[in-house]
Structure formats: C-alpha cells, structure tokens
Structure 1
Amino acid sequence: MYEEIALMSATLAFHQAIPGYLTRDGDRIVVKLAVGGVQPEIVRLRTEPDNEEALTDMTRVEAHDGWAWYQAEIEIPEPDVQMRYLFKLVWSDRLLWYGALGLDEGVPTLNQMFRYLPDHQVPDWVSRQVFYQIFPDRFAEGDPNTTPETDAYDYLHGLTAQRRSWGDAPLAHQGPVEFFGGDLPGIEQRLDYLADELGVTALYLNPVFTSRSNHKYDTVDYYTVDPHLGGNEALVSLSDRLHEKGMKLMLDAVINHTSVYHPWFQRALQGDAECRARYVFQGDDNEQPHYASWKGHDSLPVLDFANPANVETFITGEDSVIKHWLRPPYNIDGWRMDVIHMLGEGAGARNNHHHVRGLRHAIKSHNPDAYLLGEHFFEATPWLQGDQEDGAMNYYGFGHPVRAFLAGLDIAYDPIRLDAAGLARWLAKARAAIPFAQQQAQLNQLDSHDTRRLITMLNDDAALFQAAIGLLMTYIGAPCLYYGDEIAMPGGDDPDCRRSFPWDRDDWSSAAFSATQRWIRYRRASEALQTGALIDLYAEGDVYVFARVLAGEQCLVAVNRGEGRDVVVADGLTPLAGQWQCLEGGGELGRADLNLSLRLPARSTVLWRRQAD
C-alpha cells in the first residue's frame, strides 16, 4: 500500500505481492520496492527467518520519473513457515520503515508486516470471479412438484411445514418451515440470466442437503441433496451446466452441528453410545439428556470433533463429506464452511485451528484448486495466515465498515459515526493483518441471508446504493452479490431479507440493475480490479479515494457519500504513460503539479482507468 509522511519527508513507497514486486524463482524469492520522491541512501529488506531480525541490502535496479526501484533476493523459508518482512529506508540523519500500513518512523508491529507463505497459495481464479449468493428456496422455482405441502411433516415446537405462494412476505413466526418452492432446477433455468445478462461468474449456494427447514443449516443427511430442491440429480445437472458456461460452484458445509432429526442424534436419544459420543452431552445416561447446541438453539446439537469418527466422517475419510462433493459427478469448486471458527472438541472450540488445518489438507489434497472459505462475522485474522482458510466472508474487513460509513449502522444496527478517514483506517488494518493472497480471496458482500438488505439500511437511497455496488466491484477481494442486490431488492431482519425473487421486471429497480451490469463489466474487463494491489490515496469527510494497480494498468476509484465536491489528491501512483479515462460516474480528473484534482458528483462512485501505451 502507499502512505505519504508529509511532515517527515517527501518520500513515497510502494510494495505488494503483485507480479514484478514479489516473485518466486525456484528456491528463492525476488522482492522489489518502489520509492518515489526523496531517495534514501540505503534500502534494506528486513525478514525474520528464525524469529530474529535479518537485514538484506537492496540494490537499485531502475530509476525514472522521480521513482526508483530496489531489489533483493532471499531464500524461501522452510515449508509451512510464513515469511514476514519490512523495508528499512535510511538517510544520513533519519530512517523510515515501510510495512503493510505504510511509512512509519517506528518499527511496525508483527501484524503490520508484509507476510507470505510460499507453499500455501489460494486458487488464482477466486479474485477473478463475481460471485452470486442464492438462498435456494427463494430464488426460482423449476419443479413445482418438489415443494413440500402444508403440514407435510413436523418440525419443532409445534411447527409444521407450510407451503407459501411466490411473492408472499415471509412470516417471522413461521421462520424455518415456510417453503416458497425455489429449487436447483429453477437456478439452472435462470443461468442465462445470471451469466449472460447480469454477468456473474460463480454461484455460492446456501445449504442444499436434506433438512426439514428451508435454510437447511440443520442437516439430516449429508450425502443427499434435499429432494425438495431436486435431489442429487439436480445438483449434477446444475454443476454440469455451470461448468459448460465457464462458471464456478461453491456449496455451504455445516459440520459444526447437525439437525436433531439426524439419525445419529435420534439414536443417541435412545441410548446408542456410539452415536451419543458424536455429540456433546452433559450428564450420565440415566439423566434427562442435556446437550450442547449452537448458540443455545435446541434444533442444532453440536458435533464433538474430539471423536475420531467425526473427523473421519466429515474431513479425513476417503469418502468424507468434504471430499465426496468435490468428486465427479458433482465437481464443486469450493466450500463455504459455516461457523468454521466454532468447530472443535467438547462444548467449546478447543483445537479449532488443528481441525481447520486438517480440513484444508483434506480439500487441497483432493483438489488443490478448490476454494476454502470460512464464515466469520467478526475478525478472522488467525485463520487467514495461509495455512488454514483461503479467505473469509469479509464482514469484518468490508461489510461492517462499509455499512457503517454509508448507512451509519454497526453490525447490531446500532448508530455509528464513521467518516472516510475512519473507513480507510478500518479497511487498511484489516488488509494489513493478512497476506496479500488472502486479501485477494476475501469474499466481500454488502448484505447476506443473515443481515438486513443494504438498500433498506440506506432508507431506499438509490444513488448511495449504486455507489455501494461500485465500491463492491472495485475493492480488493472477490465481490459477491446476494440474490436481488442487482435490482435493489429490499428486506429487513431475517426472514424478511430472504424474500422470494420478483421475476416480474416491473418490480425491479431498472437503474440499479443497469448500474450493476456496468460495474460487473468493468470488474471483468480490468486485470487491475481483479488482481491488483490497493493503494489508499485520500480519505477525508465523505470522500474515500483509492487505486488498484498493476505494472501496466491503474484504476482510480473515488467514493463520495455526500454532496458533489472537488478534492485534491496527492498523486502517489508510480508513473504510467497511458491517459486516464472516466468509465463510470461522470467525474472530472485533472493534474496539477504532483496532485490529482477530482470533481465528484454527489453520492457516487467514480471509476477512472489508464493502461500502459
């Protein structure tokens, strides 16, 4: 990233693990740093190969247009050892350190160092995707004969299955037992809409395995796609069609807990010791059974991964749940792991990281190119150091701060005041704490099945919502639309955020749909937006400006949540001969000395792009 220390020096610096700046060459790593403005007399690369400082002199290899490039080579660390590194810039009378949060006089802390784990890279396809999350029962009905009829079966606490008409409002008191008829054939029938008209390239489906609920986070059978969604054959057909269109498919795995209706749990209640040992029961067999459940929900008994049988069934076994669906004929491309940080031994999450590492090994040994995504509502830094998850659902590092900045609400919908400077700090700290590869593999969303819809949080401010879509499609990581985002579909708290998709286009926001189509096209046409580094350039009041950069392409993004205004931005970008072109937002860009002057429309995201001639 980039940061200017205006009072200390007129020096700029840039490094990130993009091509040309960090390159693996056999058993060595080539590291490069760009320095602009006042040049240091000595530049050193600081590493910690044995948890102690090692300094390597960097050689100046190139200089032009006020910038110089310095290079060093070091040996690759031992397998599974994360390389942490910084840059030390020395003058005759002072020095500066350059780490993941920019230039600083003091030595950056460990979580502000650049980091790289050579032998644990994420699939390079992830950041190139535009994901689309689907709650299967609410997206599209393909086979009306599969939908459960009212009172077809019992649930818990006196609830029974309820068949609802498409377009009816979900009812909170019915919760998990309302079925609107969406299924996998319905998704397959809408692939032309998703891929060709909208432009998304990957689907993330909420759970599809057999369950008595509509959300299916209470699995009854892990080896069978719910017949009400079309069964196993429907998943095979959907997967085949997706891959024919060059798309990817990610499923949702729920292995922290099962349904109370899972055969293991039912047998456990009858006194089966082997099945009882799969769960966390309190008390002896002669007492009324008490069991640990997910966040106190008695429908979701927690699995105990101290039991080797669970580890084998779900993770390590030859036909484990995780491996089964990666194989033909299903061939899924990745797993989103529900509440992955809660997976563990006993009633808590003991030895969680051990089991997540085992999960990674099981997935990658079967398909090294599969995506391992973890669900975390809060900070996921410990799981994102290269040896566990490829990426996380980026609530902490994107969703929370973006909603706070645009809607003035925190994750609990309490009021929060966050200006652009606060937004930039929050985003930068979240990025700095994880390797660049994991930054690229974060799944960024504006809302999801667990949150209010952003358009509702914004009180139907259409312009601000479209600005949010622009930020989503330009920020580092993989953007993911929650079904209906593209038409500004409203929704409050669960279950209202899970309405059925309105296929009557008269009910759509055509402006939101057109804007989303455009932003997706920009994302897919730009290598810098997909894989480039992110540089913060300006953050003050209502305006946040950043750039996405590669050696031959730069994109400049300005997000303005307030009234139209002019801002002057220090030009901290390395030189590129191409001319800036405004792609979206209608803003104006000019250059004065070493600054960029931007004229920004109200409540907008503006995108400029330039490429090497």
Structure 2
Amino acid sequence: MSLLREPHHDGSPAYLDDESPTLGWSVRVRCRVAADDPVERVWIRTTYDAEPTFHACTAVARDARADGSVWWEGQLPLHNPVTHYRFLLVGPEADGSQQRWLTAAGVVEHDGPDSLDFRVTTHAGAPDWGREAVVYQVFPDRFARSTAADERETPAWAVPAHWDDEVVFEGSDPRTPLQLFGGDLDGVTEHLDHLVEVGATVLYTTPVFPGESNHRYNASTFDGVDPLLGGDAAYARLAEAVHARGLRLLGDLTTNHTGDTHEWFTRAASAPDSPTRGWYYFAHDGSYECWMGHGTLPKLNLADPDLRAAMVEGPDSVVARWLRPPFSVDGWRIDVANMTGRLGAVDVNHATARAVRRTAEAERGDAWVIGEHNHDASGDLDGDGWHGTMNYSGFSWPVWSWLRDPDSPARPFGRPVPVPRRPGQQVHRTLREWQARYGWQATAQSWSILGSHDSARIRTLTGSAPVHRVAAGLQFTLPGVPMVFAGDEIGLEGVNGEDARRPMPWHRRDDWDHDTLATYAALARLRAAEPALTRGGLRWAHVDDDTLVFVREHPAGSLLVCARRAAGGSVDLPEGALLATGQEALGDVEALLGTEPGGPGGRLKVRRGTLRVPADGVGVRVWRL
C-alpha cells in the first residue's frame, strides 16, 4: 500500500485550525483516511488532567473518487496547556476487533504510550521571523579578518595562526582551544553580502564575550565584547548593518557556566563570604563543579535567586541587556541548554528556560530563544521555554545515517563508533518518531542542521558534492528551520567539530564549490516563496532503501519532494491521495527545483489516475502539485 493511503494527521493548517489555541477553548482537528480504508467510526482520545477521554468525530468530506479520501473532523478540548491526543479508528466489525490508533509516529494496532501522541500547546510559538528563517552560523575567529585585526596585539594565552594554516583539531592537543586566527566582527560586517547571496535571514554568531580561547565559551565577563573582535563598537556596527539589510541577529549565551577568569568566579573563589560564592557549586575544600570535568568552565547555580537576577531574570539581567540598543540582539541561542540548571538532585532547567524566554520577550515581544541539545530534548520543549532546539537527534543523525559514505573519515558526535549507514525505511521511522516526541510546533521551530562548529562537516561525511546537495535539499524541505554553518555552502570539510572550524577561504574563491553554493541559494529562495515549506504539513508518499518521497501540504499550494541517495526507478503515486480538499484533478505538475546543475527537469503528467515520479540519479527534486 502506498504510504499516501495511510490515515494521516499533523499539526499544519490543513489538519489543525489553530497551532497555538486558547486555553479552556476547543480546537477543530481533522484526519484524512483513504476512501477504500474500511473506517466507519473515529474518536479523538485525549486526557483531562491525565484521565483519558474520548470525543466523537464526524465524516465531513467524502471524495467521490475510489482512490480519494474521507475527512473526519472533531473538537479537541484544551483543558491543559499542553494537550496530547490521538485518533481511534474503528472498522465495520461489530465486535470492535478492527481498531487502530493514528498517532504522531504513524498507525499502530496496539495500545502504545502517550509519548508518541500528537500534541498541541496553548503557549505562543516562535516569532514568524524565526519560524520562516534561514539561519547562518558564524564562528567569528574563523570567518573573516578586517584590516583592523592586523593592528591588535595577540594576547599571551593565544597561539597565533595565519589564515591558511592548518587547524589543530585534536582535543588532547593543548593548542586546540588557543589557536587564534584573528577573525573579527568588522570582518563579518564586510561579508554580509555573502549571507544575502546564500539566502540567509538570520546571522547567528558563537559568543562574542571575552574569553581566553578561540571559541569564547569560557567568558570572563558578560558586560562587553571581546576587544580582539573589535569590542562593543564593532558589535554595534555589525548589528546596525545586519538590521539595515532586513536581517536578524542572534547571540550565543552560556547560562550553564562561565570561564574561570570571569569576574563573578574570581570574586567567589577569593573568599568564602563573597556575594557571588553561592552562584557556583563550591565544596568545603574549595573545589567546584564544572562542565564535564573542565576546570576552566565552573558551573553556575541557577537555584540561587541573586544569580538568576544577574543572568536570566529581569531588565538588568544579561539576557535582557544585550537585546537593547546599541546591539539590539533579536534573541539567543542558549549553549548547553540541556544541562543548564541541572546538577544531580537539583533541576531548575524548566524554570530557567521560562525565565530566559519571559525576560527576552519583555525586552522585545518577538524574541527567539533556541536551546542547544544534542540528544533527546523532548522533555525540555514544553511550549513556554525554549522555542525549539538544535535538532541533532531528530534531523542531523537520521540524515547522516542515510547519506554517510562508508569510507568517510568523519568522526561521530557523541558515540564511540562511526555513524551507521542505514536504509531509507529506518531513516523514515526515525524522523517520524522524533517528530512525534517533539510535537509538530517544536519540530517546525527547531533548527535542522547538517553540522555545526561542534561536528564534522556534511561534505566530509557524505564524501560527495551531489550527496551533500541531497542533504541540503532535505534540510530545506523537511519541517524545521535550516541552520547553515558558514562554509557548508561552498563545500568546506572537517572530520570533527574542531576541524570543521577551518577559516573561510575568501581569497581562494576558485576553490569554492559554486554549484553547491547555487543550490543553497536556490533552496533558500524556494523556502521563502512557498508557504508549504515553512507552514505546511508532511505526508510521506514512498520510502525505499535509496529514495524518500514526501508531500508538504498547505492550503496555499502543496509541494512534492523526491530525494535519492542513489539512482532509482520510477515511483507511482495515486492521484486521488494527492488531491487537496475539493480538488478534482492534478493536471500537469510543475517542476520547481533540482539540486543538480541540470535543473529541475520537466513537468509530470497524471496517467490513468497515477502520477509517476521518474527514475533518476542522486539528487533532490521538487514539484508544485
């Protein structure tokens, strides 16, 4: 059976009337069932203060075509801020033996846990500019140098490097965090036209606070910008230039720890009666808790009310001050968000996430807050804290496992063995399960990343420009916000996170992969033009070892996407299952994009009720239905 014939529901406008409805009201929900599927009754099962309740649905639209669909509709009461629900589908057998559940992870014939239910939150979602963004990540030390960088004195802690020097990337080498290439903020400002060319709408930089490292996650203060980057004036110039182009600026803040040279910590370490002593976790012998055993990164105690006021709560906090002029940062990416506020029996993570968001939104109502999390973030995405996460588990790792070159030297992120190469069926299941765990809204607001400053480069992982472009095609067409690490768009390589931080080769443009750059730009234009890619649903159409085919549905127009990691045969899809409500025929299907230089290809035609996706080689192709 075609996957399009499976019963379907998601959190997009075709199936849910309001993505963030009002608490205490009800919201209309719909599910789609193939006309020849013997479903005679449907209920919504939800919970009322954790007690299961059932609400009957009505068949409100029946397609006359034999291969069409039946739409069932019901009212979902919103008694709790986050509401879980699923559909009970019952067939004609009088004994009730024909029962299935439609969950966010798919259709099952057993009674499974609520953890894979659909969910809707009454909390407001991410701002529109964030939900519809293309994020471009810059690691300032390695992005670009202005002429002013040549006049700055190299600090005593640094190991100076020339722009074409090899990166020291072994974590055991003490030079790794100290190797300084000297990129600065004016260098970023001078290259904003490149961001526009790529199609980025948001500039996200890793930290700009002073710290005795090239990464600056060991901040020595939150009260100013590192003079090595040009100081406060350079950051203000960057912010002004970003906003003048209609772009947004996202900062990077570590709420989990500071550096051991931070003014708060040095005061705390100097005297047991220091006002900031309780801001950290000191033992009686003077030792202290730190991030993952690194003594240079002492852990903050966010259970301390004075620290919360200084860091995350109120207009005088670090979170708030940088959102005001002259920097006017539009939001934050929170480093180590999964560990923030957590230590053994202490867990104030949710309270911290809510405080960061409330404080940011008090300064600017459309602030965006993303939490770093490199595994299961489902327990932290409760709707009123982080808007979303860096979606490694729900996007990066399944895409990596589908597209990995078995001979790639790319090192895994967070596991002791290489990432396995898996067939499309397993990747499809993984994507569905994580979408279910996060919920539709959180998935759509989280970052779809192919790599970052903490991971291997996607080009090294795939070992191939065409397969790299398949990854980019999925990044821009599956639900989520694309985040591009600077250099991915031109084919930069790196076997792990440190190696991935190679300087941008502005002076060697002949070495760039211009076909891949053009693909990123085309994908960004398509995302900006098609509401289906930012607001539309996701229906899977066909999956095999080497092929993923899916539909992004939206009332303003739906898109058909076919991604192949290897050459494959044609795929036949039933026309009736592709039709929107009230649509009687597809007509010719317009080709919009192809990731290979040959272009998007021609139109598709429906023959005898079947739409045939043609046999093709490696690549991603997109058509408008």
Q: Measured at CA, do residues 344 and 565 of structure 1 come closer, stay the same or move farther in structure 2, by a change above 3 Å?
A: same
Match for residue 476 of structure 2?
Answer: 473
8 Å CA contact retained: 1:314, 1:322 = yes
TM-score normalized with structure 2 length: 0.89
The answer to whether 1:583 aligns with 2:595 is no
Long gaps (5+) in structure 1: 154-159
Match for residue 537 of structure 1?
Answer: 541
1:582 alignment partner AA: A
Measure how far apart 1:361 and its partner are.
2.8
2:624 alignment partner AA: R
8 Å CA contact retained: 2:452, 2:497 = no
8 Å CA contact retained: 2:13, 2:536 = no
1:517-556 aligned at under 5 Å gives the runs 517-556=521-560
1:219-245 Cα offsets, whole Å, 9 max, x none, are 111121111112222222222222222
Give me the whole-angstrom Cα distance separating, in 2, the residues matched to 1:234 and 1:166. Answer: 21
Measure how far apart 1:561 and its partner are.
1.0
Runs (4+) off by over 6 Å: none
Match for residue 498 of structure 2?
Answer: 495
Match for residue 62 of structure 1?
Answer: 61
The answer to whether 1:16 aligns with 2:16 is no
1:213-612 aligned at under 5 Å gives the runs 213-274=213-274, 275-284=276-285, 289-344=286-341, 346=343, 350-407=347-404, 408=406, 410-411=412-413, 412=415, 414-459=418-463, 461-503=464-506, 504-569=508-573, 572-575=577-580, 576=583, 577=586, 579-585=588-594, 586=600, 589=604, 591=606, 595-610=610-625
Q: Measured at CA, do residues 402 and 259 of structure 1 come closer, stay the same or move farther in structure 2, by a change above 3 Å?
A: same
Match for residue 140 of structure 1?
Answer: 144
SS in 1 for 2:17: strand
Match for residue 156 of structure 1?
Answer: none
8 Å CA contact retained: 2:589, 2:605 = no
Give me the whole-angstrom Cα distance separating, in 2, the residues matched to 1:34 and 1:369. Answer: 34
Measure how far apart 1:5 and its partner are.
8.5
Measure how far apart 1:592 and its partner are.
5.2
SS in 1 for 2:223: strand
Match for residue 597 of structure 2?
Answer: none
8 Å CA contact retained: 1:146, 1:230 = no
Measure how far apart 1:11 and its partner are.
5.7
Long gaps (5+) in structure 2: 595-599
Give me the whole-angstrom Cα distance separating, in 2, the residues matched to 1:68 and 1:347. Answer: 51
Q: Measured at CA, do residues 147 and 324 of structure 1 come closer, stay the same or move farther in structure 2, by a change above 3 Å?
A: farther
SS in 2 for 1:48: strand
SS in 2 for 1:222: coil
Q: Measured at CA, do residues 573 and 111 of structure 1 come closer, stay the same or move farther in structure 2, by a change above 3 Å?
A: farther
SS in 1 for 2:51: coil
Match for residue 128 of structure 1?
Answer: 132
The count of corresponding residues between Structure 1 and Structure 2 is 589
SS in 2 for 1:433: helix
1:21 alignment partner AA: Y
Measure how far apart 1:259 and its partner are.
0.8
Measure how far apart 1:257 and its partner are.
0.8
Give me the whole-angstrom Cα distance separating, in 2, the residues matched to 1:96 and 1:28. Answer: 24
8 Å CA contact retained: 2:531, 2:556 = no
Give me the whole-angstrom Cα distance separating, in 1, the residues matched to 2:344 and 2:419. Answer: 34
1:358-412 Cα offsets, whole Å, 9 max, x none, are 3333333443421111111111111123132211001101111111111157534
Match for residue 31 of structure 1?
Answer: 29
Measure how far apart 1:350 and its partner are.
2.6
Measure how far apart 1:148 and its partner are.
4.7
Give me the whole-angstrom Cα distance separating, in 1, the residues matched to 2:344 and 2:326. Answer: 36
SS in 2 for 1:427: helix
Give me the whole-angstrom Cα distance separating, in 1, the residues matched to 2:111 and 2:151. Answer: 61
8 Å CA contact retained: 1:143, 1:183 = no
Give me the whole-angstrom Cα distance separating, in 2, the residues matched to 1:345 and 1:379. Answer: 15
Measure how far apart 1:278 and its partner are.
1.7
Measure how far apart 1:216 and its partner are.
0.5
Give me the whole-angstrom Cα distance separating, in 2, the residues matched to 1:311 and 1:568. Answer: 57
Measure how far apart 1:595 and its partner are.
4.6
1:52-91 aligned at under 5 Å gives the runs 52-64=51-63, 65=65, 66-78=68-80, 81-91=81-91
Give me the whole-angstrom Cα distance separating, in 2, the residues matched to 1:218 and 1:435. Answer: 33
1:296 alignment partner AA: G
8 Å CA contact retained: 1:391, 1:439 = yes
1:218 alignment partner AA: N
How many percent identity over aligned positions?
33
Q: Measured at CA, do residues 426 and 395 of structure 1 come closer, stay the same or move farther in structure 2, by a change above 3 Å?
A: same
TM-score normalized with structure 1 length: 0.90
Aligned residues: CA RMSD:
2.4
